[in-house]
Amino acid sequence: DAGVIQSPRHEVTEMGQEVTLRCKPISGHDYLFWYRQTMMRGLELLIYFNNNVPIDDSGMPEDRFSAKMPNASFSTLKIQPSEPRDSAVYFCASRTGTGKNIQYFGAGTRLSVL
Amino acid sequence: KQEVTQIPAALSVPEGENLVLNCSFTDSAIYNLQWFRQDPGKGLTSLLLIQSSQREQTSGRLNASLDKSSGRSTLYIAASQPGDSATYLCAGLSNDYKLSFGAGTTVTVRA
C-alpha cells in the first residue's frame, strides 16, 4: 500500500482565501484523523472519523474549520476564511478498527497564510 | 485531559553513546503508549507501542518501558548512529481512542 496520501504538500495562500487540504487513508482503515502541528502547541488532534462519520470534532479551533469524509477513501479539511495564525503543518492519519491501534501518518501539508 | 511531557527538549550525543528519552503523562488510565519518530519535513513513523498491560517493548536497538503507576515511559536507543538523528515523540492513547502527544525530543547524533 502507498500509505496515507496527503495533498498538496505545500500550500501558500493569502489571508481570507479558502484552503482545502486532502487526504487519502490506507485502504481498509476504519478511522481517519486530522492533526495540526505548530511550534507553540505541538501536535493537536482536530477531528476524527470512524467509518466516514465524524466522531469527535472538539479539537477544531473555530467555525472557520470544517472537515468531511464523503467516502472511505477520501477526506478534506477546509479553512474558510484562512488567517495567518492557521499557518502550520496539517497531518492526516488512519488506522484499522482492530489490533493495536497504531496510527499511520501522511507526510503532511505545510500551510502558510500570508 | 491527558498532558504529556518530554524531557529533555533536545539532546546531542557522540555516535555510539546510548540514548535515554523520557516521557511523563498525567492520566494513568491510558490504553497504550506509543513512541514515534519524525524526520524534518516528514510525517510520523511509529516505532514502538506498549499496551497498558505491558511493561516494555523491544525492537532492535530500541527498548521502551512503561510504568503506569508513576506515569512514565522511557525510550532507550542503544549504540546511537547518525541516522538516529530525528525528533522522537511519545503519545498516550486514552480510552476514548484519542492520542495526546508530547512536544518531542530532538536528537542529534554526532559522527
Q: What is the pLDDT of residues B20-64, one digit of tens each?
A: 999 999 988 888 999 999 998 888 999 999 998 999 999 999 999
For residue A62, the model assigns a pLDDT of 87
DSSP state of A106: -
Q: Is B102 on the interface with A (CB under 8 A)?
A: yes
For residue A98, give every residue at least 6 positions away whose Cβ sits within 8 Å of its Cβ, in sequence order, or none. Answer: none
Q: Is B81 on the interface with A (CB under 8 A)?
A: no
Rounded CA separation B25/A82 (Å): 34
Q: Which position has the higher pLDDT, B98 or B22? A: B22
For residue B106, the model assigns a pLDDT of 96
pLDDT band at B11 (very low <50, low <70, confident <90, very high): very high
For residue A41, give every residue at least 6 positions away whose Cβ sits within 8 Å of its Cβ, in sequence order, or none. Answer: none
- Do the chains contact at B99 and A108, CB–CB below 8 Å? no
Look up residue B95 and give its three cell numbers.
480510552
Rounded CA separation A32/B101 (Å): 17
User: Would the pLDDT of B16 be above 90?
Assistant: yes
For residue A1, the model assigns a pLDDT of 66
For residue A14, give every residue at least 6 positions away whose Cβ sits within 8 Å of its Cβ, in sequence order, or none. Answer: A82, A113, A114
User: Would the pLDDT of A102 be above 90?
Assistant: no
- Do the chains contact at B44 and A56, CB–CB below 8 Å? no
Rounded CA separation B95/B103 (Å): 21
DSSP state of A25: P
Nearest-CA distance A31 → chain B (Å): 10
Q: Which position has the higher pLDDT, A97 or B24? A: B24
User: Would the pLDDT of A101 be above 90?
Assistant: no
Give the residue from A23, A40, A43, A92 with the most B CB atoms within 10 Å of its CB, the best one to mutate. Answer: A43
Nearest-CA distance A105 → chain B (Å): 6
Nearest-CA distance B42 → chain A (Å): 5
Q: What are phi and psi of B17, to 5 degrees?
A: -75, 150
Q: What is the pLDDT of residues B78-96, one digit of tens each?
A: 999 999 999 999 999 987 7
Mean pLDDT of chain B: 93
Q: What is the pLDDT of residues A45-94, one digit of tens each?
A: 999 999 999 999 999 988 999 999 999 999 999 999 999 999 999 999 99
Tell me which amino acid residue B35 is. W
**Are the CB atoms for A6 and A23 separated by under 8 Å?**
yes
Q: C-alpha A91: how far from its chain's center?
A: 5
| Alpha helices by DSSP H, chain B | none
- SS3 (DSSP) at B82: helix
For residue A100, the model assigns a pLDDT of 75
- Do the chains contact at A42 and B102, CB–CB below 8 Å? yes
Give the residue from A4, A100, A109 with the most B CB atoms within 10 Å of its CB, the best one to mutate. Answer: A100
**Are the CB atoms for B4 and B102 separated by under 8 Å?**
yes
Please report where in the chains the cell 485531559 appears, as a residue. B1
